[in-house]
Structure 1
Amino acid sequence: MTLRRYTEVDVFSPTPYRGNPLAVVHDAEGLTGEQMQRFAKWTNLSETTFLLPPIDPGADYRVRIFTGSEELPFAGHPTLGSAAAWLAAGGSANSEGIIVQECGAGLVVVRTDGRRFIFAAPPLTRFGPVDETIVLRIAAALRIPREHIIDTSWLVNGPEWIGVRLAAAREVLALHPDPSALGDLSIGVVGPHPTGHQTQFEVRAFIGEDPVWEDPVTGSLNAGLARWLSEAGIADRRYVAAQGTAIGYQGRVHVDIEDGQIWVGGDVNHCVTGEVDL
């Protein structure tokens, strides 16, 4: 066992403890994947990351990302939280304001102004229509009539999200999914707020695992939604999405599309700093 620097950060909210928490283990050399997975399960957070020296010479650091049950090649709030924790612990980027993270999905560029961190969304590995049998299953899981679902799309960029579009944010906020019908599906639901609202969209993410749970704020899902909504002509080139409202959080996801590249960002608050014996 070795004492290692340990950080917990809150991602995607301007207000500490109202976003999505992330555990970060620094200087994780020597840990096996099994040890990382066991610790990630123990933290009982949606994700735990482990920072390592990069293999690719173009990266500033390397990260491994674990949920309580599996390793992910990429995830949004772990990317932003890891970059912020790495920088706060003394990390020095090769380019000012630009951090290059190496992960299972390859190299991910992260920009920062010191508080807000923004990642360049990796390309979707699956994007397109969802089979009608799955859509019917989704409608049953969300406890809504099939005709209330305007459109669906696969939005896979690591996590296997299915995007579901409803007519209005109020419909998104009113959802009470049926856990027994969700199964292994990961569903991201989005609906627009009225003109003049402080955010353009309301987003909710339901993860079909045991137990079923709702993610407070989800970077990977919002990256996929940004492509889907922008290509459909529904989203502005720059917008803010709210997430977590229905479960008492204040997630704010900032999306900016520049020359076809989707940038997804949010505030990162440092909440816990110490050591872990691991």
Structure 2
Amino acid sequence: MPKRRYAVYDVFTDKVLAGNPLAVVFEAEGLDDAAMQRIAGEFNLSETSFVLPPVNPRHRANVRIFTPHYEMPFAGHPTVGTAIALAEAAAEAGERGTGILVLEEKVGPIRCAVKQDGGPAFAEFDLPRLPEQLPLSAEPDAIGAALGLDSQEIGFENHRVGLWSGGVPYITVPVASLAAAGRAVLDGSAWLDLAPTRDNGAPACAYVYTRETVGKDSAFHARMFVPGSPGYEDPATGSAAAAFAGVIHHFDRPVDGPARYWIEQGIEMGRPSRIRLELDIEGGGIAAARIGGNAVRTAEGSLFV
């Protein structure tokens, strides 16, 4: 009977039972797509990553990412969590556990840096694609109504509703206050009528954000809603932060040089998360961007599949 190691990590947090949980299956050779999909459904977490030998031998691993229902070309918390899981496994085997490693994902190779200094490990990765704005035909009032919010609660300063992607598209919804963000509830059927679909046929998700925050060092407060049957809220969404990099650049116009933002998420769910977003601005444009966060291991074991 096959025996495959796995571990569960809470990602974008330095505390257990917070952040976004991720299952990492370390030895995924021999599993076909259908088996990976069924295993992801068995874990029933927002994502499960499967570690395979790299196509390019200079890279650390090929990583497949599955939700319980479909495969993702790229996702932030699986990238951070898998990088930390591989680094910790290397350190436990007496090998170098910190430094640079490259993960191959469907979106392309992703360069990651992992740091372990005695506390919870921290990893950051370069965005595989710089964010871009996509056309959105849905009206802001309709988007607000699908989130249970009035039209006057949608938008703040010069921020407006848009569709942005850093590998995965999101409808980004600025709201006027922390209170408005807290009242948001996604009407899945209404959302399906207005949201464009992704390449895998799934609808674009809702990323609600405001500049009012709970944490004093946070720049933005965010919530992310996934439509479906049933829909759910995600406690920390790195791929949404990748898209959000374009929102910040477009509306806030940071000056040339490095810019760093902490994004808080998951607070309404009781799973507080912190995502670090860094932008390198050159000539008024985004030259590069990175997403980072901590991850802590909460469980480990074997799969007999």
Q: TM-score, normalised by structure 2?
A: 0.84
Cα distance in 1, alignment partners of residues 214 and 31 from structure 2? 50
Q: Deviations over 1:66-118 (max 9, x none)?
A: 00111111000001111111122227999961111101011001112121111
1:238 pairs with 2:244: no
Residue 271 of structure 1 deviates from its aligned partner by 1.1
CA distance 1:127–1:233, change in 2 (3 Å)? same
Q: Deviations over 1:108-162 (max 9, x none)?
A: 01112121111111225752452244x3432121111234322122222343311
Q: Deviations over 1:192-248 (max 9, x none)?
A: 026982311100000112111100110000111122113321679112111001111
1:166 aligned partner:
175
1:197 aligned partner:
216
2:149 aligned partner:
144
1:267 aligned partner:
294
CA distance 1:196–1:14, change in 2 (3 Å)? closer
More deviation, 235-244/266-275:
235-244
Aligned residue pairs total 277
1:100 pairs with 2:102: yes
1:277 pairs with 2:283: no
Instruction: Tell me the SS of whatever aligns to 1:246.
Output: coil
Does the Cα contact within 8 Å between 1:5 and 1:275 map onto a contact in 2? yes
1:155 aligned partner:
164
CA distance 1:54–1:194, change in 2 (3 Å)? closer
Cα distance in 2, alignment partners of residues 7 and 195 from structure 1? 31
CA distance 1:63–1:252, change in 2 (3 Å)? same
Cα distance in 2, alignment partners of residues 243 and 152 from structure 1? 19
Cα distance in 2, alignment partners of residues 95 and 41 from structure 1? 30
Q: Pairwise CA RMSD of aligned residues? A: 2.4
Instruction: Tell me the SS of whatever aligns to 1:16.
Output: coil
1:42 aligned partner:
42
Instruction: Tell me the SS of whatever aligns to 2:228.
Output: coil
Gaps of 5+ in 2: 193-202, 282-286
CA distance 1:26–1:159, change in 2 (3 Å)? same
Instruction: Tell me the SS of whatever aligns to 2:81.
Output: helix
More deviation, 4-13/257-266:
257-266
Cα distance in 2, alignment partners of residues 197 and 142 from structure 1? 26
For 2:296, give the aligned amino acid: N
Does the Cα contact within 8 Å between 2:83 and 2:114 map onto a contact in 1? no
More deviation, 49-58/196-205:
196-205
More deviation, 141-150/193-202:
193-202
For 2:36, give the aligned amino acid: M
Gaps of 5+ in 1: none
1:213 aligned partner:
232
5 Å-filtered alignment, 1:74-85, equals 74-85=74-85
1:225 pairs with 2:244: yes
CA distance 1:23–1:256, change in 2 (3 Å)? same
Q: How high is the sequence identity, in percent, across the aligned residues?
A: 34
